[in-house]
Each structure stands twice: as structure tokens, then as C-alpha cells.
Amino acid sequence: MNDHMDGDNRRRPSLKRLSLGALCGLLAGYAAIAVAELVSAAVRPESGPVIAVGGAAIDRTPTPVKDWAIRQFGESDKLVLQLGILVVLCGLALFLGVLASRWRRVGSLGILAFGAVGALAATSRPDSTSVADALPSTVGAVVGALLLYWLTGRLGPAAAPATAGEEADRPGFDRRAFVIAATAAAAASTGAGLAGRALNRSQAGSAAASRKSVLLPAPSSKAAPTPPGAALRIKGISPYLTPNDDFYRVDTALVVPKVDATTWKLRIHGKGVTRERTLTFDDLLKMPLVERTITLNCVSNEVGGPYIGNARWIGVPLARLLRQYGVRPPSEGGPADQLVARSVDGMTIGTPVEDIMDGRDAMLAVGMNGDPLPFVHGFPVRMLVPGLYGYVSACKWIQDIELTTFDAYDTYWVKRDWAQRAPVKTQSRIDTPKPFARPAAGTVMIAGVAWAQRRGITKVEVRVDDGPWKEARLAAEDTRDTWRQWSYEWTAAKGSHTLTVRATDGTGETQTEKRTRTIPDGASGWHSVVVTVD
Ligand SMILES: Nc1nc2c(c(=O)[nH]1)N[C@H]1C(S)=C(S)[C@@H](COP(=O)(O)O)O[C@H]1N2
Ligand SMILES: [Mo]
């Protein structure tokens, strides 16, 4: 192409210059994120820009969208979000690089602006306690901005008169020097990023060491042994006790909090607390512990969904502890009707004080199926209250308990349109056969679980197509707070069939057919599975 044929050409950068600019942008963005990662390891892993922006996005996502994401991506929802943020950041970096190839300063200012967004996100998170949380994004953005300015400077002046066609032949562009600079920048960024990772890992190491050294004392009140016949031997049914590794996980934490049990503290204070206390992990372990089997489930569980598990927990009875510190339930004239639990990551969970103190096994759990709590399930201590969905009862990584009122304070999910109070709804699920299974004609075992914590399950019925309801065989009941397995031997004829289940709880109430959404207080309706018998 001949430059002198186009008088405007000296103002318009060539494609090659724009591409080099985009590359500079990517390198600068990469450096910014890597440096931020390194600084965040020194400050706090949650203060890094990707995590902070991701967390702020989770906090601000409208509930229907969040609900959709949980449904769509399940427990990968956080990974999807972080990948999404990285894709957006790459796009921004490319764009700012292209801008910078023309206007060097504008590109750098752009990076600083996005650094400010990251810093703001980090300091506005509920778990942020210090302006130091702004450091990772700020330092990262400054490094990125300087790098972009410097690298684009090596491209030569933007409006230099071009010589015969080849942009790279402009005066001021030294290809070899540019390649060296770009490679050095990429290598230094990678080094910073890796150093950040390593530092983060070694800090998580002290928490891991503290978990390894936990010796759970024998509970002074053991759980009654699981009655024989509570666990059916049927292929495809959920095991009666859910192994820790298979237990569902639902939380807003992009980085799993790694809390060191040796420095962990729990403060108990608020309305009606006459003796305010701050407890250590050792204090808790020295108290009489109880062991109980409790089924925990999530309000976001769709009918037939997976967010439920049954485990054997060890913990400190919460009602007794509260009484020691002067707390009385509202029915005895206590001034607080809501207990707000706060986690190290800023989650707030509100539970009726009356429920905690009505005789059920509410606890500060330290053990799960014989082990210290796994990190994802709240190590070192979490709350559990049988009969209530997790979002109103089961605060993980708990660090503060405040006695207050429902009028005075709305917790995290309540601010996002979920109900203030949410007792578990009676539900049942078909575990086997799976949807769209193709069993052979003849005897087919239909089996699953049913739950109605606090009320217990007294009957489960199964229906094939539009036929009559038939009573399923119930496994032995462990306690009212645990799920109950059931099975039904079906003589299956060839063709497509719809299998439906419904349960009746200890109050005599049968599950309603009416399907509701999960929000605001849990899904209702019957679970159905369509199978084709061959
Ligand atoms: N700190 C903290 N605790 C939390 C949550 C959370 O997001 N953060 N989620 C709650 C919800 S919605 C549920 S259902 C349970 C899930 O507990 P699990 O992940 O151990 O199964 O934890 C509860 N405790
Ligand atoms: Mo939940």
C-alpha cells in the first residue's frame, strides 16, 4: 500500500501498531493482576481484585439471577463467575492497549480507573475491616499503568510520519528491544503471580496445621446408634450418612476461609447477655460436647435437588451456653428474638432465639462424621439448628454471635428478599431410578429419601402415572431431625412412566402438590421422575 496516496494516513495507526498495542494492553493487564495477587497474599487473599469484584458482584446480583446461576451451574457457579471476570478483564486490557497505542496516557488512566473499581470493591465487602484491602488493586493498577505507558513508548511515536508502508520501520520502533521488553514483563508478572500463590498457600498452611492437630474429645452425650434398618441396602439410594466429601456445599465465599483454630475467637454479646464472653476453640473443646445426627438442607434446593445431606455432628449445645451468659428466650421474657451469627467472611445469618432454646439440638459444631469440620463446611466452628434451612441457622466460620431482634436487623439473605424465618418444608426425593433411566420390565426398586426435620416422616407414598397412591416401605427412623429412606417394589410394564413421590410428616400433614419456587422460603411440590421401561 502506498502511504502518500492517503493524506490522512499519518494519523491513523496501522493494524500492526494496533495489534502491538493490544498486546501491550494484555501484558499490562496480566502484570496488574499478578502484582495484585502478590500484594493480596500479604494483605488477605480475599482482597485481590478478581475475588473482590467477584464477591461484590455476588452481593449485588439480583436474587433471581443468583438463583438461576445456582440452578444452572450448581457448585461450579463460582468458577463460572471468576472465568467470566477474567474474560471481561482480558477484553478491557485489549481495548485499553489499543487506545494506548494511539494515546499513551489514556490507556494508563484507564487501567488506574479499573484499579480504583477493584479497590472500592475490596473495601466495600462486608468482611473488609481495613483500607489495606484497597492495596492489591491499587498497587497492581499502578504497575499495570506504568508498564503500559512504557511498553507503548517502545512502539515509537503514534503520529510519526510513516515511511514506505511498514509501520515497524518507523523511526523509534526497535522490534528486538520491544520483544525483549515484552518477554521480560511477561516473565516478571508470572514470577509475581507464582510468588503470590506460594505465599497464599503457606498462610493457608498454618490453618491446615491447626486443623490437623485438633483432637476431638469424646462427646459426653453420644448420638443414639443408628437403628438397624435405618440404612437400606438399595443400589442408587443416597447413603444414610453423607460422607464429608459428598456433602453439598452452598456459600458465597470465593476463597474458602482458612481459619487458624489456635487464634480463632467467638464473641457472644447483645440484648439480654448479662455476661459477655469471648471464647477460644480450646474453651469450646473443654465444654461438655454432644453428638447428634442432623439432616441439613438448603432453601435453594429445587424439588428433587441435591442440596441436602445427613451427618453426625459433634458440638457444644448452644441453648445451654446462651443460658449461662444470661440469655432467655422471648417466651421467658428475654428481650432478643433473633440471634445473628457473623462469619469471618462477613456473612450474617439470623435464627429465632426461641427455636434455638426450645429443646432441640442447636449446637456450635466442631466435628462432622468423626473429623474436625472440613474447611468448606466451616472449620473451626459452625452453627447448626435442626429444622431450619441453612441460610437461617448454619453459619460457617462463625466468629460473632449477637442477640438482637428481627425488627432491628435484617441479615444478608433477608436483605435479598428471602424470608426472615424459614423452617424446613416436608419433602421427598426419588433417588433411583434416575430420570430417563431405562430399567428392564419386571421388578424395579423405586427408592429415595424423605425429610421433615423436627416433625419426622410417618408415611411415604409412590404413584405410577395416574394410578393410585401406594405406600412405600419406610426404613427405620433414626430421629425426627434426620431424613428417612424409603423404597417401593414396582412391577414395571414396558413403556414410558412417570413416578411420583409424596411424604407425610409427624403432624399428619401430607406434602402439598403445589409447586413453588425456592424463594422466599423453600420449594414445595412433588418430585417426579420419567423412566422408560424396556
Ligand atoms: N459463612 C457462611 N455460612 C453459611 C453460608 C455462607 O454463604 N457463608 N451459607 C449457608 C447456607 S445457604 C447453607 S444451605 C449452609 C450450607 O452448609 P454446607 O455448605 O456445609 O452444606 O451453610 C450456611 N452457612
Ligand atoms: Mo442454603
d(CA 83, ligand 2 centre) in Å: 23
User: 1 pLDDT band (50/70/90 cuts)?
Assistant: very low
**pLDDT tens digits for 413-469?**
999 999 999 999 999 999 999 999 999 999 999 999 999 999 999 999 999 999 999
Flag whether pLDDT at 7 surpasses 50. no
Ligand nearest to the CA of 399: 1
Report the percent of the chain where pLDDT is more than 70. 95
Ligand nearest to the CA of 299: 2
- Cell 427455636 -> residue: 355
- Positive or negative torsion for Cα 392, 484, 357, 344: negative
d(CA 391, ligand 1 centre) in Å: 6
Q: Show the ligand 1 pocket: residues with CB < 6 angstroms.
A: 247-252, 296, 298, 343, 345, 347, 377, 390-391, 394-397
Residue nearest to atom 20 of ligand 1 (CA): 377
Taken in order of first residue, the domains within the chain and their CATH numbers are 2-208 (no CATH), 244-416 (3.90.420.10), 427-533 (2.60.40.650)
d(CA 390, ligand 2 centre) in Å: 5
User: 159 pLDDT band (50/70/90 cuts)?
Assistant: low
Lowest pLDDT segment from 36-40, 146-150, 202-206, 272-276: 202-206
Cell output for 110: 484507564
Can you tell me the distance from the alpha carbon of 44 to that of 41, in angstroms, rounded to the nearest whole number? 6
Q: State the chain's mean pLDDT as an integer.
A: 92
- pTM recorded for the entire structure: 0.85
Residue nearest to atom 15 of ligand 1 (CA): 390
Provide mean pLDDT across the span 194-204: 85
Which residues, including other chains, have CB under 8 Å from residue 401's CB and lie 6 or more apart? 266, 267, 268, 269, 270, 339, 340, 341, 342
Provide mean pLDDT across the span 315-332: 98
d(CA 308, ligand 2 centre) in Å: 9
DSSP result, 411-470: -TTGGGT--S--BPPPEEEEEESPTT--PPSEEEEEEEEEE-TTT-EEEEEEEETTS--E
What is the best residue among 382, 396, 451 to mutate for testing ligand 1's pocket, by most ligand atoms within 8 Å of CB? 396
- Cell 487501567 -> residue: 111
Specify the pLDDT at position 59: 84
From residue 87, how far is each of 80, 115, 473 by CA, in Å? 10, 16, 52
What is the best residue among 46, 371, 391, 399 to mutate for testing ligand 1's pocket, by most ligand atoms within 8 Å of CB? 391
d(CA 530, ligand 1 centre) in Å: 32
- Positive or negative torsion for Cα 190, 192, 196, 199: positive
Specify the pLDDT at position 266: 98
Provide mean pLDDT across the span 335-359: 97
Can you tell me the distance from the alpha carbon of 37 to that of 34, in angstroms, rounded to the nearest whole number? 5
Cell output for 519: 424463594
Flag whether pLDDT at 45 surpasses 90. no
Specify the pLDDT at position 508: 98
Ligand nearest to the CA of 311: 1
Specify the pLDDT at position 75: 73
d(CA 376, ligand 1 centre) in Å: 9
Atom index in ligand 1 nearest the CA of residue 250 equals 19
Taking the CB of residue 102, how many other CB atoms lie within 10 A of it? 17
DSSP result, 251-319: -S-SS-----TTT-EEEEEETT-SS-EEEEHHHHHHS--EEEEEEEE-TTPPTT-S-EEEEEEEEEEHH
Higher-scoring residue by pLDDT: 61, 437: 437
Specify the pLDDT at position 167: 47
Ligand nearest to the CA of 395: 1
Flag whether pLDDT at 248 surpasses 90. yes
Atom index in ligand 1 nearest the CA of residue 297 equals 14
d(CA 393, ligand 2 centre) in Å: 9
**pLDDT tens digits for 504-518?**
999 999 999 999 999
Specify the pLDDT at position 68: 81
Residue nearest to atom 7 of ligand 1 (CA): 251
User: 2 pLDDT band (50/70/90 cuts)?
Assistant: very low
Residue nearest to atom 5 of ligand 1 (CA): 251
Flag whether pLDDT at 322 surpasses 50. yes
d(CA 269, ligand 1 centre) in Å: 22
Strand order in the sheet with 442-451: 427-432, 442-451, 484-492, 473-474
Can you tell me the distance from the alpha carbon of 439 to that of 433, in angstroms, rounded to the nearest whole number? 8
CB burial class (10 A; 0-12, 13-18, 19+) of residue 526? buried
Can you tell me the distance from the alpha carbon of 52 to that of 58, in angstroms, rounded to the nearest whole number? 10
